Structure 1
Amino acid sequence: MTLPYDINGHGPAVLLLHAGVCDRRMWDPQWQPLADAGFQVIRCDLRGFGQSPLPAQPYSNSGDLLDLLDSLGLDQVTLIGSSYGGKVAVETAAAHPDRVAALILLAAALPGREPTPERRALGDREDALVEAGDLAAAAQLMVETSLGPDAGEDAKRLVREMQLRAYELQLAEGVAGPVKPEVDPAGITMPCLAVSGAHDLPDFRDTATFLPAARHVELPWAGHLPSMERPAEVTDLIVSFLRETSGTSPSA
């Protein structure tokens, strides 16, 4: 299966991986600006999100990404991952470092890490609402806890819509989840920018501890989805790092 995807622009390839409360629509604010900055931009729906249903058997997120890259004839890309997408990016970079030129991690979830009590409590609240059949309340909970104080109403509406779609796919009968590979962070030696938000849970703020070679930037205004909260500011941060690591110029 090839993941549903969009592609735009020309230049060094960049693959955008969405958060677990979102799908590829979360990247709308970055979509055209990254292409205009001189990059070939790809975004996809991971399985269980957006237009990508879950299969009946366990699957590999990294395998899905490699299949997508192969179908596009791309030997190497920079992976930009938000939250769950950041976890998938780290897993892929660790297993297939030759395919990943650089990493940009936005409030990334990290493989193999035990959740903090705060995150476990949030998961328990969400599970209780889902089990009670109140998906609207569960989605609203995730909107309120994912977006920081600068998020606008359009961002809140879209996260709610994307989260409800994820519930629809993930609660279907007879579906399976992804395999959980072992990840050795020592194998991740490509350039890496790790961005966190001061208003986020601690789980998503210690990427630099897990990836000591990463350059860490904490945004004092941000929650868990900074690219949706202050899109232009985060796009500028992304473009600056992409130009530094890919060697492209502002006139590219």
Structure 2
Amino acid sequence: MTISFGVAGVGPDVLLVHAGVADARMWEREVRELAAAHRVITVDLRGYGETPLEAGAKYSDAGDVLAVLDEVGASAVMAVGASYGGYVVQQMVSREPARFARVVLLCAPTDNVEPDDELRALWGAENKLLEAGDVDGATDLTVRRWIGPEADDEARELLRVMQKRAYDVQLAAGDDVENEEYPVEPEKMTMPVRLITGGHDFAFFTDSADYLAERLPAAERIHLPWAGHLPTLERPTEASALIR
């Protein structure tokens, strides 16, 4: 399997891992800004963007991204993960903590925290639409619920395109795929970690950040009252500054 990834710029390594409703295109602004002083690495996880997902595949998203870092010779990595991408980053850092210098987690889930009822209801509605073959309806639901009120029409359309692509690829692969998840071990994440959440996001992600903040040795907690689940698409200038 070849994981689609991009490398831009020269300097200290920065890794950007996309959300589970998006792909590497969500980071276009950040790549442009960071590449002036860093080597910026982006990936499309399996089933997203330009990376396919084969029926019957057995893989690990965290393992895939670690393999990309090996391929490009990345070290002392500053890793940024959005939503599910932040969960992938936690798995990677727990497995190879010496490789990472800093971490930023944007509205990310974690282990040992239960989803709230509102999020479970959303997942149920999404699955019902997909089971009925209404991919457009599921995509519309994603755009309504996963991006905050500050997002403009361009950001909403980008999210629509990215999520529709993910549905098309993942539904074609079917249910017979297995993604191994490595355990998240906060005590191993001793580097500085910035935890960012949004006031319009689901409680699960705020609860996850609070859980990590209590257990990480060097955590910084930031809550954005204006933000939904994807702050870099909602207020790009403000959210990108928090990453920089």
Does TM-score exceed 0.5, indicating one fold? yes
Q: Determine the structure 2 residue equivalent to 1:143.
A: 143
Q: Determine the structure 1 residue equivalent to 2:226.
A: 221
**Distance between the aligned counterparts of 1:224 and 1:193, measured in 2?**
16
| Native 8 Å contact 1:79 1:103 kept in 2 | yes
| Native 8 Å contact 1:149 1:223 kept in 2 | yes
**Distance between the aligned counterparts of 1:51 and 1:150, measured in 2?**
28
| Native 8 Å contact 1:185 1:211 kept in 2 | no
Q: Determine the structure 2 residue equivalent to 1:9.
A: 9
Q: How many pairs align?
A: 238
Q: Determine the structure 2 residue equivalent to 1:245.
A: none
Q: Determine the structure 1 residue equivalent to 2:125.
A: 125
Match of 1:170, SS? Answer: helix
**Distance between the aligned counterparts of 1:49 and 1:112, measured in 2?**
26
CA deviations 1:67-112 (Å, max 9, x no partner) are 1011101133111000010000011111110111111001012134
Given residue 240 of structure 2, which amino acid in structure 1 is its aligned partner? T
Q: Determine the structure 2 residue equivalent to 1:209.
A: 211
CA deviations 1:101-149 (Å, max 9, x no partner) are 1110010121343211111111001000111111111111111111111
Given residue 70 of structure 2, which amino acid in structure 1 is its aligned partner? D
Given residue 114 of structure 1, which amino acid in structure 2 is its aligned partner? E
**Distance between the aligned counterparts of 1:177 and 1:127, measured in 2?**
18
Q: Please, what TM-score do these two structures have when normalized by structure 1?
A: 0.90
| Native 8 Å contact 2:77 2:100 kept in 1 | yes
Which of 235, 238, 241 is residue 240 of structure 2 equivalent to?
A: 235
Asked if 1:184 corresponds to 2:189, the answer is no
**Distance between the aligned counterparts of 2:220 and 2:108, measured in 1?**
13
Q: Determine the structure 1 residue equivalent to 2:115.
A: 115
| Native 8 Å contact 2:102 2:191 kept in 1 | yes
**Distance between the aligned counterparts of 1:109 and 1:208, measured in 2?**
10
Q: Determine the structure 1 residue equivalent to 2:28.
A: 28
Listed as ranges, the gaps of 5+ residues in structure 2 are none
Structure 1 runs (4+) deviating above 3 angstroms are: none
Identical residues among aligned pairs (%): 43
**Distance between the aligned counterparts of 2:111 and 2:84, measured in 1?**
10
Match of 1:223, SS? Answer: coil
**Distance between the aligned counterparts of 1:73 and 1:184, measured in 2?**
24
Match of 2:102, SS? Answer: strand
RMSD of the alignment, in Å? 1.3
Q: Please, what TM-score do these two structures have when normalized by structure 2?
A: 0.93
Listed as ranges, the gaps of 5+ residues in structure 1 are 240-252
Match of 1:166, SS? Answer: helix
| Native 8 Å contact 2:13 2:75 kept in 1 | no
Match of 2:183, SS? Answer: coil
